């Protein structure tokens, strides 16, 4: 295991060094990309100066609102849908094609409906994330063993109590898979919407910096988004593994 981790670190280090070298010999020129060490240094400068803090805060808080909404609504919808086979079968093609449709096309509609504030961006992030939560939660609920549901019935638990105490805890690893997707999707939704049309946020700052050839702002912000999303994802994956290991899977 440790040998593999070593290789992994080696591959990443080699990739970074290669980038550094390519930038150093000017195969990649400065207008295209700055060398990695410069990007990291700029990121520290930006974070220390605090001039992007408002944008970072706005994007991350919008993303977490969209994510929480997607998780809550998604789980509620899945629990509600789970019992109704006909409704599920009817909705199946919608779920299957949902992620082939560019949801960003609905952004102008949301802007007209909600105005150019935070709401339309949160709406896009929510719309992208919620279906992943629904589909994966349904998948998890399908795998709850019948004996557990029977036990719940013997204990005379109501529908809500059964869902909260038996079905959802049992489906937790699958719900977590959905949440993992929803994290990525809510960030994509928020940042993409900020790119298209907004008055602030990291996506806005990145595209503003891009339009002004301001690589000293653009690359560090991109790096920050990558770090945030990869570390959230790694944490959730680890948690998922712990949950699965606990049931011997």
Partner 1 sequence: MSTESWKSARNAVVLIACLLAGWQALYWFAGEIAMRPPLATLRYTANLVTTDAFWPHLSETMRAFAIALAIAVAVGLLTGFWLGFHSLSRQVFEPMLVAIYSIPKITLYPVLLLAFGLGMPAKIAFGAIHGIIPVALFTINAVRNIKPILIKTGRVHRLGPLDMVRSILFPAALPEIFTGFRVGFSLTLIGTLLGEMFAAQRGLGYLLMTAIGLHNVDLIMAVTLLLIVFAAVVSTLLLAIDRRLHRRSV
Binding site for partner 1 (CB under 8 A): 4, 7-8, 11-12, 31-33, 89-94, 96-97, 99-102, 104-109, 112-113, 180, 183-184, 187-188, 191-192, 195-197, 203, 206-207, 209-210, 218-219, 222, 225-226, 229-230, 233-234, 237
Smallest separation (angstroms) from partner 1 to the CB of 180: 7
Diameter of the chain measured on Cα atoms: 73
For partner 1, the closer of residues 106 and 239 by Cβ is 106
Q: How far is the CB of 151 from partner 1 (least distance, A)?
A: 31
Choose between 56 and 152: whose C-beta lies nearer to partner 1: 56
Q: How far is CA 189 from the centre of its chain?
A: 9
SS3 225: helix
Beta carbon nearer to partner 1, 95 or 148 = 95
Distance CA 23, CA 96 (A): 43
Q: Which long-range contacts (CB under 8 A, 24 or more apart) does 153-158 make?
A: none
Nearer to partner 1, 109 or 164 (CB): 109
**Alpha-carbon distances of 156 from 88, 108, 122, 146, 188, rounded to whole Å:** 26, 49, 40, 15, 43
């Amino acid at each position: 295991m440790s040998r593999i981790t070593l290789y992994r670190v080696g591959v990443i280090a080699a990739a970074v060094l290669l980038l550094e070298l390519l930038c150093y010999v000017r195969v990649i020129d400065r207008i295209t990309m700055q060398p990695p060490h410069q990007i990291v240094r700029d990121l520290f400068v930006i974070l220390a100066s605090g001039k992007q803090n408002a944008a970072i805060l706005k994007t991350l808080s919008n993303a977490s609102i969209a994510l929480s909404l997607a998780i809550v609504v998604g789980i509620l919808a899945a629990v509600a849908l789970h019992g109704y086979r006909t409704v599920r079968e009817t909705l199946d093609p919608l779920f299957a094609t949902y992620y082939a449709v560019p949801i960003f096309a609905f952004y102008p509609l949301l802007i007209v409906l909600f105005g150019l504030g935070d709401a339309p961006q949160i709406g896009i992030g929510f719309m992208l994330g919620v279906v992943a939560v629904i589909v994966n939660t349904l998948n998890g609920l399908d795998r709850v063993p019948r004996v557990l549901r029977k036990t719940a019935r013997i204990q005379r638990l109501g529908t809500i109590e059964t869902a909260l105490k038996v079905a959802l805890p049992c489906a937790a690893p699958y719900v977590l898979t959905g949440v993992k997707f929803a994290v990525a999707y809510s960030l994509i939704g928020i940042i993409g919407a900020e790119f298209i049309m907004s008055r602030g946020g990291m996506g806005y700052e990145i595209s503003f910096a891009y339009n002004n050839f301001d690589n000293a702002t653009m690359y560090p912000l991109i790096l920050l988004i990558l770090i945030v999303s990869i570390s959230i994802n790694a944490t959730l994956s680890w948690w998922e593994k712990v949950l699965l290991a606990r049931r011997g899977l």
